Amino acid sequence: MSDFDPGLLPDNATVEPDGMLAIAGCRIDDLAATHGTPLFVYDEDHLRARCREAVQAFGPGGVIYAAKAFLCRAMARLAHEEGMLLDVASGGELHVALAAGVPADDCVLHGNNKSVAELRRALEVGVRHVVVDSFDELDRIEDLVSGGAGEPPSVLLRITPGVHAHTHEFIATGQDDSKFGFNLANGDAARAVERARGSAAVRLSGLHCHIGSNVFDAASFARAAAVMADFAVPLDLPELVLGGGLGVAYVTGEEAPTITAWADAVLGACRDLGVTARIRVEPGRAIVADAAVTVYRVGTIKEIPGVRTYVAVDGGMSDNPRPVLYGSGYEAVLARDVGADRPLRARVVGKHCESGDVLLFAAALPADTAVDDLLVTPVTGAYGHSMGSNYNKLRRPPVVFVRDGDARVVVRRETHDDLLATDVG
């Protein structure tokens, strides 16, 4: 028996009579033949179901989609259609959201080092909130408003609560030693509130915190809520945003809280602590990660007796840098036989000129894995496309949404001429 957990696949994944994997009625081999590989395939109904679960759990207007997890115009429209606001972390993300037709008033601008240009644009279009991350940023906003760049914006102050989430150090953000936010323990948070309340250039609407990404312990969110409640309740501000970071299972045997369980933990803690402010959260990974798979084609199999077997595919760290950055684990299956036994232990690598270009450090694969096979890695809907690069001048893969047997390209594959688009010679 295969030890692969089919629950890692998108909601509408099925196996055709001939053994081929299909998602939302679209066969993987047909998608690969039409769109090439590597290829991101998203189950659109899965995306919508997670959006609806979040909105139902936290209430209308209580969910802000963290666009950094995966953003294109189609995704921005989808999240907004399902009742979400959008968290944008740069001028570029804001530009994409606006181009998708999302009203500026439904966008929240994040970032630990927003430029004057980004802040000016946010004031000009009228974003709902600017999440202020530093005293320098308050200086910039005050200069812009006094210079006539726009009306005083509604702001949330990002607070660093000193809560350590059990996740990789590179994606933990709530500890005292963090580049993000106003430190609660050293008094910066209190000084920021006093500064914002005394400034004519901002309207202080609430507080924000975020403890990290891919957090599996719902109790960590409850602890952050408790710390924030102690600070927020006496201030009597109308909004409290407790960030995102809910983890998802990437490999067989992992378990993560559901969005509903996360809501129960967060909202229950706030209720018990006497928080009367409007609670909002910012899920990203939990909405999109397991809605997608990446499809690769095997190009080379290299067995080194007594050492290991390498299986090289036509993508790599340019379409999924998480294994290189964080040592993240993934599963892999062959599209032609998802349920096959997987006795072969191999390292799945990409085609980049780096020994560290690894997608799966210790993959379990069928013994008959062969050149030209379509290899599928599930749970790649977050931080693959969005963190992609053109290293070695590889062209970034297309993104396809599938639904009810239909596939539509929402991001086309780059061309070689695209690689020259900004090269002025």
Per-residue pLDDT in tens (0 to 9) along the chain, 425 residues:
468 999 999 999 999 999 999 999 999 999 999 999 999 999 999 999 999 999 999 999 999 999 999 999 999 999 999 999 999 999 999 999 999 999 999 999 999 999 999 999 999 999 999 999 999 999 999 999 999 999 999 999 999 987 655 444 433 444 567 788 999 989 999 999 999 999 999 999 999 998 877 888 877 888 888 889 999 999 999 999 999 989 999 999 999 999 999 999 899 999 999 999 999 999 999 999 999 999 999 999 999 999 999 999 999 999 999 999 989 999 999 999 999 999 999 999 999 999 999 999 999 999 999 999 999 999 999 999 999 999 999 999 999 999 999 999 999 999 999 999 999 99
Residue 168 pLDDT? 40
Residue 167 pLDDT? 43
Reduced to 3 DSSP states, what percent helix, strand and coil does the chain have, rounded to the nearest 5?
30, 25, 45
Rounded to two decimals, what is the model's pTM?
0.94
Q: Which residues are the active-site residues?
A: 353
Residue 409 pLDDT? 98
Looking at residue 88, what DSSP letter applies? E
Q: Which of 271, 274, 268, 314 is nearest to 294 (CA)?
A: 314
First-to-last alpha carbon distance for the chain, in angstroms, is 56
CB 389 within 8 A of CB 321: yes
Domains and CATH numbers, the chain: 6-43+290-420 (2.40.37.10), 44-287 (3.20.20.10)
